[in-house]
Structure formats: structure tokens, C-alpha cells
Amino acid sequence: MLLLLGLCLGLPLCLGSLQEAKSWGDTSEQVGLRVPRQVRLLQRLKTKPLMTEFSVKSTIISRYAFTTVSCRMLNRASEDQEVEFLMQIPAAAFITNFTMLIGDKVYQGEITEREKKNGDKIKEKRNKTTEDNGEKGTETFRASVVIPSKDKAVFLLSYEELLQRRLGTYEHVISVRPQQLVGRLTVEVNILERSGIASLEVLPLLNSRQKGSGRPEGGVRPPPSTVINQNETFAKVFFKPSVIQQARIAQNGILGDFIIQYDVNREQSIGDVQVLNDYFVHYFAPKDLPPLPKNVVFVLDTSASMVGTKLRQTKDALFTILHDLRPQDHFSIIGFSNRIKVWKDHLVSITPDNIRDAKVYIHHMSPTGGTDINGALQRAVRLLNNYVAHNDIEDRSVSLIIFLTDGKPTVGETHTLTILNNTKEAAQGQICIFTIGIGNDVDFKLLEKLSLENCGLTRRVHEEDDAGSQLIGFYDEIRTPLLSDIRIDYPPSLVEQATRTLFPNYFNGSEIVIAGKLVDRKMDRLHVEVTASNSKKFVVLKTDVPVEPQKAGNDITGSARSKGDGKEDPNPLERLWSHLTVKELLSSWLQSDNEQEKERLRQKAQALAVTSHFLTPFTSMKLKKPLQMKKLEDPYGMSAATGPETVTQRLQGPNLQPGPTLKKPYNPRIKVSKTSADGDPHFVVDFPLNKLTVCFNIDGQPGDILRLVSDHADSGVTVNGELIGAPAPPNGHKKQRTYFRTITILVNKPERSYLEVTPRRIILDGGDRLVLPCNQSVVVGSRGLEVSVSANANVTVTIQGTVAFVILIHLYKKPAPYQRDHLGFYISSSKGLSGNCHGLLGQFLNQDARLTAEPAGLSKNATRTPLPMAGEGSEAVLKVKGHQVPVVWKQRKIYNGEQQIDCWFARNAAQLLDGEYKDYLAAHPFDSETTFGLGISRGL
């Protein structure tokens, strides 16, 4: 068994390209293949891993998030195949557990001390990338494993993070990037905040790496299918998109980041102190304080590599920031390349003239030369030190450098350690340096250490991102300093091993977090004292916080820790303390230049990380010897693992009793656009801009081939449907029924290809002729035509990424005499079709419709339930494409009867359609040349 696990440069989630199978053990009926090479093509298709489920569950308790990811994969090939699992996680998070289930064997990860020679240990890297959601961006977890033929694998990944408050909110980000449409995709987030939830918002899905991908329409609305339940202290957010909803967001399955933003209530000025068993956490985020004056120097890279968009966006951002400076602030600007160019040799006050002159100076900056990082920093520090030393400043102020570059030091001092030492010695801890690195060529480690050693923060901006908006967002976080020189004290006799208690600055909208251990369990109050500087006064806050005895709940985290190992459920405050302590030890190790001190810090961080099961640069993960998992009877062929709780009950060996019997997973029917031809066949046309839905019937003859969509001359797309006959139900008004037996889709751009769909099989001819059974889930593409089959349910066809059709498969186990296996045709997306599109459905796409006369009291919005009326007695006149057609309101069922819609029914379809019935008949299923006899008398 091969395994490779790593944290490496930003790739999206699980590889794989197949949709959910109906069951693990589904065996398909054999389909006769006309061409021998199809056997090889089909086998090659089966080798792709099939993802049947992707689910994420997060539980946030007092800002500390426990997240578990579950991904199920299936190897349907006739030989062993390698499958890969990828998951982006926040860079601030620690991985705590990784478990694989391969067949009936369980491989559980174990965190151990990192050694120079890893042997069989899992390889680990920590190359960071940056996204919009975090200070240091995201990292990618990768695991690859060989799955035996016809067998399954389940990947379970758990990680923990402390949410940071920025701009007044906490942000929890979950990467949803399965790289394919998944039959069962769920994200569940539970939030528990004792102090109360003040606000909560779910943002639209965000995928900054691929602009335009994964961004749902509708402004700031949550992603489709998102459900939010909330009370004063608890919130539950559930996201479960159907396959079609996923396809609307991103056909490639890269949905993006699922983001929840929230904030909590704050009543006490000294902050919120929470105690659980032997641990406490103190959240300090005061508000309603006057801002401190800022002394700020903007240091901008103007070397030749900044030419073009980067420098233009930076200039535009600085124009915005200059107008945001407060009257009590002072500033200056430095541009650097191989020369250091200072706008003013001293800091100036905020006046209209100074702002105007600064904008003119910025406007005339031009890119040229190399990059003298050391010289620019030294000059900026001198400007700030001279200003503070030679001005009688009554108000306490904060001195900041905002430093932006896209490269490495190439001019002057280029040795990284010397630059760091020079800057630290000059700043003397009195100046905070905030750094921004743009692109892939920047020395981000240098910028990160510059900020760490000088009480600042750092950001990295990708080449394709908007540097200007990133700069403005970064500045917004530090634009309002409220306190400086903050010190938080607790009685030494009552508190031990507290995390950092000294902080140079506090910015509005952020938060200071301290955690520690309590010495005396029996104490009922904890004395807290905060001292800080605010503008013209020295602030001292003192209070005794009541210590309420609390017990950790039962499995409140939903973590992947086994319940059979004799350990109690984890204390979230203990986990928070461990997380924060390890982070601070890693930061101190990075800043230290003393080898003995670095070794001491390394050993301390390593010991706590191993105890807490954190994967860090000083720890590694190896797989334990596989355990045999007791197989469960599963009538649906699903894996025994539905999530971490179920799985871990079976990790200790064969003697444990199996968990509860699994239920068949909920698999909702596909919901797509109302515009469709389904059933007998009943036609529905939706006019979303006019909030109208129109329906009509076509009584064709068995064997007729109807032109549904005809855009051959422009987009190159044609859709034909062939009818099959069946006897009418007894006591009905019809003599016979007709259904669609075959749907044929032809595409002639960029190259000719076609797709023929029946209830039992699919033929794709795109150069290589391929026959696929409808009872197997599969995804295949050729010449811009992508076909996704959900076993015995539906076929999604995407053309050039701009046109999407969904064909529902209607099968009967014991059909009545008047029933036939048949197809339903739905138009999911018509963006790529032209304005000249025609056909029974195509002629109405992108058209306007309105009611010119309607009964009193009845809304034109046919999507709402009208007032009660008797039968079809209420009539109106519909105007569409120059036709005026009498219509009546009625209700019609679509999606195989699973949804009822309101529509305006045209009894005489001939009045609604262009041309005659014969104009919509194709000579054969692959006919794309039929012309419409417009203007001819209608006789449908």
C-alpha cells in the first residue's frame, strides 16, 4: 500500500472526475459495443476515481473551530488504481487526525516527533499560498493511495483553528473544491458562543484563484440550498447543493470557499473571560474609544518589475487610503528601486494641499531599476524616529510602516539576515512594519520575518489578484489604532502557563486572545487587570471575573477522536490554549537568532504538538498498522463510514460492536430550469424576467422526430427528440400517449460531434465512438462536449461551458400498459445559444412575454399561487413574439410529478408557435437542416 501525504503548493480538492454511483456494489449490465476500441476507451474511463460523497462538518465553540472532512472514492476499474485526495485548509490551522479506510482495512495516522530520517513516515511540506481568507493564506493537504480493483476508500481529515477577528467579524472558511459534480455534497457548521451571537452572514461562494468561477449570482445572498437556523447563542448552517446547483456554480466542480462571518456580543470593557475545568480564555476587544494618531510612512516598490497593472492598482489604492487618513495623523511616502526617492524629508500633517501634492507625487512614480529593500526600510525608520524625536507630541501616537514589494533585494544590502538585523536595530520595537508581497517572485519569508520581528502583519497577493483592493483591505485592518502598549495581568498564584500578555497595539475590529491554566480549581473569581495607553491618557481596567464551574459537553466537537480509548471528550478551551501556545512557540523560534534558544523552543513546541496531536514543522505523521474493520450488512452497498463518529468506533479492532445500521442516503431529484419537454409530452417555457411561465401540449405521432432546439447556423447546436407511442389510460380523452424515446444532440462547432440518449444507453461520437450504459455514473468529454451521467437518474450535457441540458431518465419497474420508459428534456443554461435560436422550445429563449389582459385579482406572476378559481375558467391574453394567444391559468407537474408549478396554458399551441407542425419535424435524428416556414398558416 502506497501513501504520500503532504502540505504543498495550492492545488484544489480531491482529484477525480466521476459522479456518484447509485451504490458501491452496483454492477452494470453489459452493453454491446460496435467498435472494438470502445472496450479500451470504456476501461480507461473506468480508471478515473469516482467520488460518491464529500462532506464537511465544523463545530465552533468560543471562536475555536473543529473541522472534519470526509471523502469517499470508488475504483470501478478492473485493476488496482491510484487515487488522490486533496483539501485546502487555512494556513493557521493544525491537522489533528487523518484516517483512511481501504476496503475493510483502517489506516490511522499518528502524530510523532519529526526526525531527520523519516523512514516510513509521511512526507510533509509547508509551502504557503495566499487566499483572501487569512493572514498567511491556505495550505493544501494531499494523500494518494492505491485502491484495489472494484474496492472503495474513505478519507477522513480533521483540523483545528482559532478564528481571528478582523474588521469586526470572525470568518470561518471551508474549501469546497471536489473538482467534479458530487452526488452527495454537504457542509454543516455549528456555532456555539456563550456570550451570544450578535450577527451572522453566509457569503456567496468565493474562488479568487479563478475569477468568475464559483461566484454565484445574486449579490450577497448565501449559496443556493443554504439553510440557517439561529438563536441567541447557537447557530447551525447547512449547505447541501444538488448536482444541478453545483453545475450552475461551476461545471468543473470547483465551487470555491464556503464562508461564514459572524460576531459576538460584548458587554464588559475588560473583555470576555471563559473558564472550563482547568483552563481559561480571555477575549479582549474594547470599542467606543477615541482613535490614536498614526505616524505612517508608505514605502512602495517602483522597480522595473512593478510595471503595468501592479503599479497602477497600487497607486489607485493609495489615492483611496490618503483620503481616509484622519486630521490628527501624519504621513510621508517613499518610492524605491535602486534609488530611494522620498516625497518629503519629514512627516506632514493631513491637509487638502498635502493630500493633493502626495497624489501628484504618486501619479508620477514610474517603474525602473532594481530593488533596494534595506535602504528603503532604513530611510522610513529614520523618518519616523526623527519625527517622534523632534516634535513635542502631546497625544500618544502609533508609528507604522506599510511596505509593499513584488521582488527580492537586488541592490545595496541583499543578505536577508543583515536586512532583518539592520531593521530591528533601527526600529527598536517602537515602529510596527506591515508588509505586502505581490506575485510569486517576492521573498515572502523575508517579509514575514520583518513583520514578526517588528510587531506587524504580512499579506501575500497572487499575481492574478487585485493588488489595489488587497492593499485597501489590509490598511482597513490597521487604520484605527485604539490602544498601545497593552499589558494584561492575572494573579501569578492562580494562573500559570498563560500565553502572550504584552501587545504593542490594538486596532479597532480586531481582538486580543490570552489563554492559560488555572492553579486552583475551587476559586470562584479571577482577578484581571488591563493597562494600556489611549491618546492622552493611561488606561487601567480592573475587575474580578466570576468563575463558573462548567463541564465539557459530550462530543460537542464532533472530532475524530475515538470514544473507546478511555479518554474524555476534549476540552475546547484546553485545545485553544494548546493551539495558541504552539503558534507562539513557532513564532518565537522563527524570530530567534540564538541556536541554543531555537533548540529549546523547538523541543518545547514539539512536545506540546505531539501531546495535542498537532501536525507542525516539528512533527510528522505516520500510519499505524492497519486494523481489520468488521463489515456491516449494507443493503445499499454504501461504506460503513458515514463520518468520523461512525468510523472511529471501529478503529480499535475487531472486538468492538458495530454502530447503528445505516439508512439509505437522501438523494433528492434533480431540479433545473422549468423550460422543458417531458411526459406526454408537455411543454413548459419559463420567462424569468417577466415572472411568467407558459405551458402547452403537442399531440404528435409515434415515430415523429421533433425539433426542440435549432441553432445550427450560429452556436452550432441542434436538439431533436423522437416520439414513441403507448395506449392511452382507460377513461381518458386521448386515444394514445406519446413520449420521448430518444434525445439527439448535435454540435458542429468547433468540430462536429453528436450524442444520442435513450433510457438504457448513451452513444457519444466525438471522433472516438463511445457507448455508455445509463446505469453507471460516469463523466466523459470530447471536443467541448461534456457528458455527466448519474446512474439511472439523469444525464447532464454541457457544450463549450455555455450551454447545458439535463435529460431525466424515467424508468418503470412494473410499467402499466400505458407507461413506457422515456426521457424528459430540460434546458439548464442557454447562455451560449444565439438570438436566432428556434425550435419548439428554442424560439422562446431570451424572449419577452406579458399578459395584456387578465382576470381581476390575479397576479401576472404565475410563480405565485393565484386566487382560487373554478377549473380553467379564468382566462387572459398572452403576448409573445407578436402573437396574442388566449391562455388559462392551470397547474402542471414537472420533474416526473415531483414539483407542481403554476403556468398559463395555451389550449391551442398553433397560435403560440411559429409555422406549422410539419416545420418542426426532422427527417432523421441527426437532421440539422430543417427550415421553418414562417408566416404560413398554422395547423398544429
Three-class HEC string of 312-338? HHHHHHHHHHHHHCCCCCEEEEEEECC
At residue 714, does pLDDT exceed 60? yes
Instruction: State residue 478's pLDDT score.
Output: 87
Average pLDDT of span 295-313: 90
At residue 588, does pLDDT exceed 50? yes
Least confident of 226-240, 254-268, 543-557, 578-592: 543-557
* Residue with the larger pLDDT of the pair 62 and 763: 62
- Enter the C-alpha cell of residue 224: 443556493
- Judge residue 277's burial from the number of C-beta atoms within 10 Å of its C-beta, 0-12 exposed, 13-18 middle, 19 or more buried: middle
Distance separating alpha carbons of residues 809 and 566, to the nearest angstrom: 51
At residue 155, does pLDDT exceed 60? yes
Average pLDDT of span 550-561: 44
Helices (H) and strands (E) in the chain, counts: 12, 50
Range with top average pLDDT, 182-186, 639-643, 782-786: 182-186
User: Do 666 and 55 touch, CB atoms closer than 8 A?
Assistant: no
At residue 9, does pLDDT exceed 70? no
Least confident of 110-124, 402-416, 524-538, 716-730: 110-124
* Residue with the larger pLDDT of the pair 94 and 772: 94
At residue 921, does pLDDT exceed 50? yes
At residue 545, does pLDDT exceed 90? no
What is the pLDDT confidence band of residue 407, given thresholds at 50, 70 and 90?
Answer: confident
Q: How far is CA 194 from the centre of its chain?
A: 27
Average pLDDT of span 663-673: 43
Q: How many CA atoms lie within 13 A of 187 on its CB side?
A: 26
The predicted-structure confidence for 373-398, as pLDDT tens digits, reads as follows 999 999 999 999 998 888 755 567 89
Distance separating alpha carbons of residues 121 and 622, to the nearest angstrom: 5
Instruction: State residue 6's pLDDT score.
Output: 43
DSSP 428-458: TTSEEEEEEEESSSS-HHHHHHHHHHTT--E
Distance separating alpha carbons of residues 136 and 134, to the nearest angstrom: 5
- DSSP secondary structure code for residue 612 in this structure: H
The predicted-structure confidence for 436-462, as pLDDT tens digits, reads as follows 988 888 888 899 899 988 988 888 887
What is the pLDDT confidence band of residue 931, given thresholds at 50, 70 and 90?
Answer: low
Q: What percent of the chain has pLDDT over 90?
A: 31
- DSSP secondary structure code for residue 21 in this structure: P
Instruction: State residue 772's pLDDT score.
Output: 81
Which of 149, 111, 144 lies closest to 1 in space, CA to CA? Answer: 144
Distance separating alpha carbons of residues 72 and 291, to the nearest angstrom: 52
Distance separating alpha carbons of residues 380 and 807, to the nearest angstrom: 65
- Judge residue 879's burial from the number of C-beta atoms within 10 Å of its C-beta, 0-12 exposed, 13-18 middle, 19 or more buried: middle
Average pLDDT of span 470-489: 87
What is the pLDDT confidence band of residue 662, given thresholds at 50, 70 and 90?
Answer: very low
The predicted-structure confidence for 245-293, as pLDDT tens digits, reads as follows 888 888 777 778 999 999 999 877 788 888 888 898 999 998 888 888 8
What is the pLDDT confidence band of residue 938, given thresholds at 50, 70 and 90?
Answer: very low
User: Do 811 and 823 touch, CB atoms closer than 8 A?
Assistant: no
Average pLDDT of span 78-83: 83
Instruction: State residue 149's pLDDT score.
Output: 83
Helix (H) or strand (E) holding 904: strand 899-905
User: Do 242 and 149 touch, CB atoms closer than 8 A?
Assistant: no
What is the CB neighbour count within 10 angstroms for residue 471? 25
Helix (H) or strand (E) holding 121: none
Residues near 457 by Cβ (< 8 Å), separated by ≥ 6? 135, 434, 435, 451, 474, 477, 478
The predicted-structure confidence for 14-31, as pLDDT tens digits, reads as follows 333 323 333 333 433 333
738 residue type, one letter: T
Helix ranges (DSSP H) in 9-105: 37-46
Q: How many CA atoms lie within 13 A of 642 on its CB side?
A: 14
Residue in the block written with cell 535602504 = 375
At residue 122, does pLDDT exceed 90? no
What is the CB neighbour count within 10 angstroms for residue 803? 25
* Residue with the larger pLDDT of the pair 47 and 565: 47
Phi, psi of 458, deg, nearest 5: -135, 150
Residue in the block written with cell 481596567 = 541
At residue 906, does pLDDT exceed 60? yes
* Residue with the larger pLDDT of the pair 262 and 183: 262
User: Do 828 and 709 touch, CB atoms closer than 8 A?
Assistant: no
Distances (CA, A) of 460 to 377, 446, 668: 19, 12, 41
